[in-house]
Chains A and B, each alone.
Chain A
Amino acid sequence: MGKYKAVIGLEMHCELTSNTKVFSSAENSYNDTPNANVRPVDMAFPGTLPVVNVECIRKALLMSMVLNCTQPEYMYFDRKNYYYPDLPKGYQITQMHAPVGVNGKITIDVNGKDKKVLIHDIHLEEDSASLDHYRDISLIDYNRAGVPLLELVTEPCFYSAEEAVAFLEYMRRIYQYCGVSEADTKKGQIRCDVNVSIMNEDATELGTKVEMKNINSFANVYDAINYEIKRQTELKDAGRYDEVEQETRRFDEETGTTIRMRSKVDAIDYKYFVEPNIPKYKITKEWLEKIKKDIPMLPRERKEYYINKLGLSEYDANIIIKEKDYADYFEECVDIGINPKTAANYLIVQIIAYLNKEGIALKDFYLTPKLLYQITSELDKSTISSKQAKEIFNKAIMEGKEPKTYITSENVQISDTDALNSIIDNILANNESQIEAYHNGKTNLFDYFVGQVMKETKGKANPTIVKDILRKKLD
């Protein structure tokens, strides 16, 4: 690069979480059994009509507000007309004229620096059916047909693959934080279209835009952008920039390259027009206010809060906000009275490590904040040692039993100062010669006294308190 700069725009499609599909009352969930989540409209049987799901609109509006977009006064939909076997109606219901959000902006963090991202629009639409390809035939499963999709379109405002992927990662997190989507790329819930152009560093006019469609992982987005920058740069260097066409390409995972699909000339005329079967729906200020209240604290705000109010390090805060589950767990711990630093420590050092090792999700993790509190509260009271705490933690998750079952009168520490005082007085009374030797400079006898207390209490005396008392009495 150097003499050129790349300009990148993103389209991010994300499946929404809801009980039912966006225009039909069929269940919106992944189903292994083909054609098991189907209502008549999902297969476009003649005479069926779309019926808009309030929950999908609510979530779409919520995201629109999160992205600081402008919401329309009246919401309605458009038909995007084209023929493809995965599109049973022969058109997709989407939003072209009045998206749920336009002209938004959001600040993200790229390698510790703020980056302002401009949002062109965010709109609600329906997913297509899925096709399974075999040797001679293809099979169509309509479970996915009509699943709600939110499509977010950015302005061409990214200048590197890092920035683009940082945005996608951040948005994935936002979707999860807002409970709008599981946003799991592995389940195909997020798909991206990416457009890339290059231009001279000092140029003001954008170069030829090349679009790559339907990329299904962020790693592939990263690779596709970098490949495309390289390809376009090489052509430009070779004086063959005219060979960079305004076209649509696809990313080939195996070769790590992009392959031409169709040029702009062959672009389909989708003949968009307003969907007449869905009347214009007034989005009231009251409803927007209500939805706004459902917006949770977002990762960037949480991070600030953790550092400034709860006293975490930036390093720890960054780890915790990475997943909404982590942050929620952490905050619940703090809410019920676990010291923030202790909670963060447990979460980062023990829990996340354990989850990664076992490959399970935090929501399936046995030791809920309430159960964790059984350990930390005893630790705070010094009834158990940190070594004991660690043992109890491990036992509890191995055996799936509440931590308090491992904390009995048999094994709890003696931290009662009065009790320890009398035990120590007893021991000192019986060791006058050692006391004298200690005072004459044999200071290593201090450990001898501690040992005696431990022996007397069968090791259950709280060593810190014992030492405190001994010092007071001897020195």
Chain B
Amino acid sequence: MMYMNKTIEELHDLLINDKVTPEELVDESLKLSKEVQDKCNAFVTIIDKPKIMPVSENMLSGIPFGIKDNYSTEGILSTGSSNTLKDYVPFYTATAVQNLEKCGAIAINKTALDEFGMGGTGTTCHTGTVRNPWNLKRMCAGSSSGSAAAVAAGVYPFALGSDTGDSIRKPAAYCGIVGYKPTYGMISRYGLFPFASSLDHCGCLTRSVKDAAIVVDAMKGIDKNDQTSWDSSNMHLYESIDGKVKGKKLFYIKNVVDLDYYQNPTDEFVSHINNFHKTIEILEKCGVTVEGIEIDRNLLNAIPSVYVCLSCAEATSNMSNLTGIIFGPRGNGENINEMMKDHRTKGFSPLIKRRFVIGSYILQKENQEKYFVNAQRVRRLIVDKMKELFKTYDGLIMPVGTGIAPFLDNPKDSVSNDDVSVLEEHLQIGNFGGFPSITIPDGFIDDMPVGINITGNCYDDINVLNIAYALEREMPYKNQIAKEVEK
């Protein structure tokens, strides 16, 4: 009997009716972890003997799950997939993880990520490249690569992710699952290794919208250790989902999505856009109005650069604590400076160093106003524009990326200036504004899954989830498990 391919809702039913025990679930999940590790290299740590939790009324009790390795977990190796922390065992657990454990959820493994979340390919983990369970030659995207791969492969019904630019929502699309990051501050970031604090969000990867709501219901809450967190105790995400969407209004950014704006698009790209419009039609049948609107191209074009500026700059500072003095391997050197430099030189991968150099350049006194502060200004313009639109619309709906997961031997995680970059990077808008944002699978191209994203106004998580749920209900992709294809 297989259980791990079921949703949290289904598993809870089985557990509460004694059809299965948490021990059996854990055993199966561990077994699958090992298989998926061999195929996808998704994990940094598989926990030897997960602590079995009793079954209770709580939907998450006895349910196995995965934790992205940039969450601090007491007594369990927590590396951020970086050599700078390759041996770091924290003495405290992140609030979000603690909240899940309080519900009785059982952590099975720590999943691999692009080093400290600073990548979108799953190729910069210190434990090696993470492969897509639908096609092992393709990437999962990142940075929540291991979590996406594991949930898609059916290791457990959910895993934690973090999202600074699109790190939950893009891998979710490439792996054919659900990825949800709620409004900034709904989930405490205490214990999440920071990448860029003003853009970092906690969230989860699941295979159904309702499961995502259940998980975030458990993770969220005001935390005395995170002053950017807020009290959401009056918001019950799971209970509030009713699928009633008639009369809702969504918009998409026409001058990014319409094929007319692209010269010589590839077949894959055309299929992707057509699939998006097909999905829109489904929503319209549910009584949702969807309108294409145009946004100033200059503003849109600046999105990826604003993101690079702000994320790299904040990252250089956030990772200044990685010196090998208090934790992490000691560097060699005659004096303390050499020692710290050796630790950092050896510990960081080339990609992350590249981003640091950019951050260093941007924050320099002579460049700060021109790049960093202006990026903060443009961030506000973009967010203001969205908030203005959210007065009229319930949310923004957009295709995720420009197509399916790319092949690993042809990664495109370099800074590009081609005309598809806005479509590739628009999910960053959700991080700029702290907006709730969810990706769900909406079809296949060449046997590989693609996803669609819905983003709404701050604190309007229930609305966003509800629309996603209504759409999910009309499509056959809920709770799909990756079927490996060779191509």
Complex: A in contact with B (CB within 8 Å): yes
Q: Are B363 and A271 in contact (CB under 8 A)?
A: yes
**Taking the complex as formed, is B313 at the interface, i.e. its CB lies under 8 A from any CB of chain A?**
yes
Which one of A45, A85, A271 contacts B327 once the chains associate, using CB atoms below 8 Å?
A45
Q: Mark B209-234, 1 if CB is under 8 A from A, else 0.
A: 00000000000000011111000000
**Taking the complex as formed, is B323 at the interface, i.e. its CB lies under 8 A from any CB of chain A?**
yes
Q: Mark B306-325, 1 if CB is under 8 A from A, else 0.
A: 00000001101101111101
**CB contact under 8 A between A269 and B321, given known A46-B90, A48-B190, A276-B198:** no
Tell me the nearest residue of chain A to B364, going by C-beta. Answer: A269
Q: Are B320 and A91 in contact (CB under 8 A)?
A: yes
Q: Are A47 and B317 in contact (CB under 8 A)?
A: no
Which one of A40, A85, A277 contacts B197 once the chains associate, using CB atoms below 8 Å?
A277
Q: Write the nearest CB–CB distance from A413 to chain B, whole angstroms.
A: 65
Q: Determine the distance from Cα of A46 to Cα of B80 in the docked complex, in whole angstroms.
A: 9
**Taking the complex as formed, is B444 at the interface, i.e. its CB lies under 8 A from any CB of chain A?**
no
**Taking the complex as formed, is B336 at the interface, i.e. its CB lies under 8 A from any CB of chain A?**
yes
**Taking the complex as formed, is A360 at the interface, i.e. its CB lies under 8 A from any CB of chain B?**
no
**Taking the complex as formed, is B262 at the interface, i.e. its CB lies under 8 A from any CB of chain A?**
no
Q: Are B190 and A47 in contact (CB under 8 A)?
A: yes
Tell me the nearest residue of chain A to B229, going by C-beta. Answer: A49
Q: Mark A41-71, 1 if CB is under 8 A from B, else 0.
A: 0011111111110000000000000000000
**Taking the complex as formed, is A448 at the interface, i.e. its CB lies under 8 A from any CB of chain B?**
no
Interface residues of B in 361-399 (CB under 8 A from A): 363-365, 368, 372
Interface residues of B in 65-93 (CB under 8 A from A): 71-72, 78, 80, 85, 88, 90-92
Of listed A79, A88, A271, A278, residue having the most chain B CB within 10 A: A271
Q: Determine the distance from Cα of A363 to Cα of B91 in the docked complex, in whole angstroms.
A: 42
Q: Are B191 and A47 in contact (CB under 8 A)?
A: yes
Q: Are A271 and B227 in contact (CB under 8 A)?
A: no
Q: Are A47 and B325 in contact (CB under 8 A)?
A: no
**Taking the complex as formed, is B134 at the interface, i.e. its CB lies under 8 A from any CB of chain A?**
no
Which one of B92, B94, B337, B368 contacts A271 once the chains associate, using CB atoms below 8 Å?
B368
Of listed A43, A49, A279, residue having the most chain B CB within 10 A: A49
**Taking the complex as formed, is A90 at the interface, i.e. its CB lies under 8 A from any CB of chain B?**
yes
Q: Are B225 and A51 in contact (CB under 8 A)?
A: yes
Q: Please, which residues of chain B bring their CB within 8 A of the CB of A90? A: 317, 319-321, 323
Q: How large is the interface on B (under 10, 10 to 19, 20 to 34, 35 or more residues)?
A: 35 or more
Q: Are B227 and A45 in contact (CB under 8 A)?
A: no
Q: Are A273 and B336 in contact (CB under 8 A)?
A: no
Q: Write the nearest CB–CB distance from B364 to chain A, whole angstroms.
A: 6
Q: Determine the distance from Cα of A269 to Cα of B366 in the docked complex, in whole angstroms.
A: 10
Q: Write the nearest CB–CB distance from B198 to chain A, whole angstroms.
A: 4
Q: Determine the distance from Cα of A76 to Cα of B54 in the docked complex, in whole angstroms.
A: 45
**Taking the complex as formed, is A140 at the interface, i.e. its CB lies under 8 A from any CB of chain B?**
yes
**Taking the complex as formed, is B193 at the interface, i.e. its CB lies under 8 A from any CB of chain A?**
yes
Q: Determine the distance from Cα of A279 to Cα of B71 in the docked complex, in whole angstroms.
A: 22
**Taking the complex as formed, is A115 at the interface, i.e. its CB lies under 8 A from any CB of chain B?**
no
Q: Are A45 and B325 in contact (CB under 8 A)?
A: no
Q: Please, which residues of chain A bring their CB within 8 A of the CB of B189? A: 47, 49
Tell me the nearest residue of chain B to A140, going by C-beta. Answer: B325
**Taking the complex as formed, is A341 at the interface, i.e. its CB lies under 8 A from any CB of chain B?**
no
Q: Please, which residues of chain A bring their CB within 8 A of the CB of B197? A: 276-277
Tell me the nearest residue of chain A to B88, going by C-beta. Answer: A46
**CB contact under 8 A between A47 and B368, given known A79-B317, A89-B320:** no
Q: Are B227 and A277 in contact (CB under 8 A)?
A: yes
Tell me the nearest residue of chain A to B71, going by C-beta. Answer: A47
Which one of A45, A51, A91, A278 contacts B326 once the chains associate, using CB atoms below 8 Å?
A45
**Taking the complex as formed, is A83 at the interface, i.e. its CB lies under 8 A from any CB of chain B?**
yes
Q: Are B336 and A271 in contact (CB under 8 A)?
A: no
Which one of A44, A48, A83, A273 contacts B372 once the chains associate, using CB atoms below 8 Å?
A273
Q: Are B226 and A89 in contact (CB under 8 A)?
A: no
Q: Are A83 and B323 in contact (CB under 8 A)?
A: yes
Q: Write the nearest CB–CB distance from A154 to chain B, whole angstroms.
A: 24
Q: Determine the distance from Cα of A276 to Cα of B313 in the docked complex, in whole angstroms.
A: 12
**CB contact under 8 A between A49 and B227, given known A90-B321, A91-B320, A276-B314:** yes
Interface residues of B in 116-147 (CB under 8 A from A): none
Q: Please, which residues of chain B bring their CB within 8 A of the CB of A43? A: 326
Q: Please, which residues of chain A bring their CB within 8 A of the CB of B365? A: 269, 271
**Taking the complex as formed, is A81 at the interface, i.e. its CB lies under 8 A from any CB of chain B?**
yes
Tell me the nearest residue of chain A to B362, going by C-beta. Answer: A271
Q: Please, which residues of chain B bring their CB within 8 A of the CB of A44? A: 321, 326
Q: Are A273 and B363 in contact (CB under 8 A)?
A: yes
**Taking the complex as formed, is B270 at the interface, i.e. its CB lies under 8 A from any CB of chain A?**
no
Q: Are A47 and B192 in contact (CB under 8 A)?
A: yes
Q: Determine the distance from Cα of A90 to Cα of B327 in the docked complex, in whole angstroms.
A: 14
**Taking the complex as formed, is B329 at the interface, i.e. its CB lies under 8 A from any CB of chain A?**
no
Of listed B189, B326, B372, residue having the most chain A CB within 10 A: B326
Q: Write the nearest CB–CB distance from A421 to chain B, whole angstroms.
A: 77
Q: Mark B428-455, 1 if CB is under 8 A from A, else 0.
A: 0000000000000000000000000000
Q: Write the nearest CB–CB distance from A388 to chain B, whole angstroms.
A: 61
Q: Please, which residues of chain B bring their CB within 8 A of the CB of A140? A: 325
Q: Are A49 and B190 in contact (CB under 8 A)?
A: yes
Q: Determine the distance from Cα of A167 to Cα of B305 in the docked complex, in whole angstroms.
A: 49
**CB contact under 8 A between A83 and B191, given known A46-B90, A276-B197:** no
Tell me the nearest residue of chain A to B372, going by C-beta. Answer: A273
Q: Please, which residues of chain B bring their CB within 8 A of the CB of A277? A: 197, 226-228
Q: Determine the distance from Cα of A138 to Cα of B337 in the docked complex, in whole angstroms.
A: 13
Which one of B71, B78, B224 contacts A51 once the chains associate, using CB atoms below 8 Å?
B224
Q: Are B317 and A271 in contact (CB under 8 A)?
A: yes
Q: Please, which residues of chain B bring their CB within 8 A of the CB of A83? A: 320, 323, 337, 340
Q: Are A47 and B227 in contact (CB under 8 A)?
A: no
Interface residues of A in 277-294 (CB under 8 A from B): 277-279
Q: Please, which residues of chain A bring their CB within 8 A of the CB of B90? A: 45-47
Q: Determine the distance from Cα of A269 to Cα of B363 in the docked complex, in whole angstroms.
A: 9
Q: Please, which residues of chain A bring their CB within 8 A of the CB of B322? A: 46
Q: Are B321 and A52 in contact (CB under 8 A)?
A: no
Q: Determine the distance from Cα of A277 to Cα of B193 in the docked complex, in whole angstroms.
A: 13
Which one of B191, B316, B336 contacts A85 once the chains associate, using CB atoms below 8 Å?
B336
Q: Please, which residues of chain A bring their CB within 8 A of the CB of B323? A: 83, 85, 90
Q: Please, which residues of chain A bring their CB within 8 A of the CB of B190? A: 47-49
Beyond the given A49-B189, A271-B360, A271-B368, please list 7 additional residue pairs across the A-B interface where CB-CB is below 8 A: A44-B321, A45-B91, A46-B194, A46-B321, A46-B322, A90-B321, A269-B364
20 contacts between A and B (CB under 8 A): A40-B91, A45-B72, A46-B72, A46-B85, A47-B72, A47-B193, A51-B227, A81-B363, A85-B325, A91-B317, A138-B336, A269-B364, A271-B363, A271-B364, A273-B372, A276-B197, A276-B198, A276-B228, A277-B227, A279-B228
